[in-house]
Structure 1
Amino acid sequence: MEIDDILAEIFLNGGGNIVILLIAIFIILSIFLGVRIVPQAEKHVVERFGRLRAVLGPGINFIVPFLDKVRHKVSILERQLPTSSQDAITADNVLVQVDTSVFYRILEPEKTVYRIRDVDGAIATTVAGIVRAEIGKMELDEVQSNRSALISTIKSNVEDAVDDWGIQVTRAEILDVNLDQQTRDAMLQQLNAERARRAQVTEAEGRKRAVELAADAQLYAAEQEAKARRISSDAEAYATQTVAAAIAANGLEAAQYQVALKQVEALVALGKGEGKQTIVLPANAMDAFADAFGMLKGRKT
């Protein structure tokens, strides 16, 4: 075999190996470009010839190599806009400065990518306009007392405004409502006046309650006194009835006996008094003793 034939054979065998090597490289490159692994917190926007082709979710995805290309990698984590301050005028013409913060998530990256350029700036501008509009419908006291309702209204309006951008507003917060110094001084004076008024009302109610309790106490005492008198009257009436019944049963002698007995008891009580060494008796005192013993003797017989 000549040398030319030998070189031709080597060239042919080497060229086949090169082709195989190029095919292997092409297959590996196609696999590398066609397989896309998307992280859990991201979504990838795929374009083909400059147009939207697909949105790849988390996990393993396949695209057409050399034709499809991942143009945008969008995070779907919740985001917080920087705290922003905007001036607003309430319905009662009070200038307030409102500090707000908004949290949102991107749900449809294809809308966010192709419909809005600066999503954070757009949301901040939308929130500022809605805050001014809603606060302009309320008086200052309502802004302070109904903050939760105001936050709900702002969140709902912002959601409607950014719906075309593929965004979900997860939370809206009003961090602070600041007033100028003159308004603060006026509110402080009003607060002090209201506290003084409440103190006067409380004191007046206390005096009124004291008078009512005193009247109730007097009424209760009068009722108890009347009740005691009624009981005493009932007792006296019962004693009178008892005496009358005894007189009716035993005649006049029973009454005379009771009178004589009472006279004796009165004399005994007079003699028991402290410092009573000399007792002055009426002239008929002995007669009372005699009558009492006589009647007692007569009753025993």
Structure 2
Amino acid sequence: MPVEDTLGQFIGQNIVLVFIAAFIILCIFLGVRIVPQSEKFVVERFGRLRAVLGPGINFIVPFLDRVRHRISILERQLPTAKQDAITADNVLVQVDTSVFYRIIEPEKTVYRIRDVDAAIATTVAGIVRSEIGAMELDDVQSNRNQLTTRIKQSVEAVVDDWGIEVTRAELLDVNLDQQTRNAMLQQLNAERARRAQVTEAEGTKRAVELNADAELYAAEQGAKARRVQADAEAYATSVVAQAIKENGIEAAQYQVALKQVEALVAVGKGAGKQTILLPTNVLDAFGDAFKLLKGRS
């Protein structure tokens, strides 16, 4: 065989081998998919959903399967939305809402909804208006945590068909127009004035009650003192009566005579009273006292 034919046959065989090797490399390149941890791949075959590839190394059929969508499964935040709502007591409020979500079933998100962010924002706006419309303004401001929980639960029930998980739905702020603020300020000032009057009235009432209690206590103590004094006088009378009963009438006369003598002595000690005029019965009292003293000695 000529050298030229042998060389041509060798080159032709090598070209075929090169094509086969390139085809195998291309098949490996097209059939192996490495999915990052933060993503999921949606694979289609002839335009239909074939599989959802999770993080790691995955294999697909080259030339038949194609990765159509690469979906991030990281948590996302919608821009803070401002919207108007009317409460049950016809007060116009402007609320700020913020929603956090993540995609957990990409096949639903891809084939059931076109604009996920816009759909969630519209859903949240409708639910917020509905929930606030069923509450009065005072309840909206005082039960904000409860309202936030109800909004989150309602949003979760709606977006479940889209393969989305709402991680947080927060009611950031509730703003009022200036006219409503002025009216609430007037109401607040009136309430403060009313509370001040009530506090003052309660203080006056308490002072009167304490004063009455003090007077009652003083009266009770005075009555107790008079009762003790009366008991003491009664006791002294009973002692005198007992002494008279035991010693006779002479003991009583003796005590009376002594008191008369003591009184005269006190009068005689006064200045400028050297001469004292005594009635005759006083002398008789002296005599009786001396007789009694003599008799007792």
Alignment of 1:17-96 (within 5 A): 17-96=14-93
Counting aligned pairs with the same residue, the percent is 77
- Structure 1 residue 44: Cα displacement: 1.5
Gaps of 5+ in 1: none
Q: 1:108 is matched with which residue: 105, 113, 131? A: 105
**How far apart are the structure 1 equivalents of 2:55 and 2:262?**
117
2:196 paired residue number: 199
Find the residue that maps to 1:138 and give its secondary structure.
coil
Root-mean-square deviation (CA, aligned residues, Å) is 2.8
1:138 paired residue number: 135
**How far apart are the structure 1 equivalents of 2:27 and 2:152?**
47
- Structure 1 residue 112: Cα displacement: 0.5
Per-residue CA distance 1:36-84 (angstroms, 9 max, x = gap): 2222222211112221111122223222233222221111111111011
TM-score by length of 1: 0.85
Deviates more, 1:156-165 or 1:19-28: 19-28
**How far apart are the structure 2 equivalents of 1:26 and 1:286?**
164
1:157 paired residue number: 154
Find the residue that maps to 2:37 and give its secondary structure.
coil
**How far apart are the structure 1 equivalents of 2:166 and 2:149?**
11
Residues 183 and 271 of structure 1, relative CA distance in 2, 3 Å threshold: farther
Per-residue CA distance 1:195-233 (angstroms, 9 max, x = gap): 111111111111111111111111111111111111111
Q: 1:167 is matched with which residue: 160, 164, 168? A: 164
Residues 263 and 122 of structure 1, relative CA distance in 2, 3 Å threshold: farther
Deviates more, 1:286-295 or 1:11-20: 286-295
Amino acid at match of 1:89: I
Amino acid at match of 1:193: A
Query: What is the number of equivalent residue pairs in this alignment?
Result: 294
1:257 paired residue number: 254
**How far apart are the structure 2 equivalents of 1:157 and 1:73?**
29
Amino acid at match of 1:219: L
Per-residue CA distance 1:136-161 (angstroms, 9 max, x = gap): 22222222222222222221211111
1:208 paired residue number: 205
Gaps of 5+ in 2: none
Find the residue that maps to 2:69 and give its secondary structure.
strand
- Structure 1 residue 98: Cα displacement: 1.6
Deviates more, 1:178-187 or 1:207-216: 178-187
TM-score by length of 2: 0.86
